[in-house]
Amino acid sequence: MSKIHVSTTLNGDAAEFLCEPTSSLLDVLRDTMGLTGSKEGCGSGDCGACTVMLDGEMVCSCLVLAPEAEGRTIATIEGVAEGSVLHPVQQKFLEHAALQCGFCTPGFIVAAKALLDRNPNPTETEVRYWLAGNLCRCTGYDKIVRAVLDAAADLRQERTPA
């Protein structure tokens, strides 16, 4: 099987890679591009640990074939922070101890950022609904929800002109 050349935008930068036609986007991100933040938890799109943004939409990267990234924009957990400055969602996850083992955390943060980009003032119910595709065995979710709501409040305050 011959490899496919893919040109894409990855975390804001032009990127290219070669992959097998059947390679998952997750495998290419981790094994070829060295971006190991996204995790494979289930391989069937049920856990959310591999969540990335593809053209502004959340996808489970374990379910996307890497060649489908041709000409598209990918954002991973590695692109959430701006340099060494954590995104408010990341900061609030730390402050609220909204992580334990950390395996699911990248998927939750990508999903939470996607929610707050679309809806800067979510209710608790909306946060819980939005994050329902992400599974965590450790935290019990309450700290995660509180972190997202607190990040939303901070982001709204940043957007409000003085």
Q: What superfamily does domain 88-157 belong to in CATH? A: [2Fe-2S]-binding domain (1.10.150.120)
Q: 62-120, pLDDT tens digit by residue?
A: 999 999 999 999 999 999 999 999 999 999 999 999 999 999 999 999 999 999 999 99
CATH number, domain 4-78, options 3.40.50.300, 1.10.3720.10, 3.10.20.30, 3.40.50.720: 3.10.20.30
Residue 13 backbone phi and psi in degrees, to 5: -115, 145
Q: Where are the domains of the chain?
A: 4-78, 88-157
Q: 124-137, pLDDT tens digit by residue?
A: 999 999 999 999 98
- Is-above-0.75 flag for pTM? yes
Cα distance between residue 18 and residue 41, in whole Å: 24
- If we measure between CA atoms, which residue out of 11, 147, 160 comes closest to residue 89? 147
Residue 70 CB: number of other CB atoms within 10 A?
11
Identify the pLDDT of residue 140.
82
Cα distance between residue 10 and residue 112, in whole Å: 19
Residue 144 backbone phi and psi in degrees, to 5: -65, -50
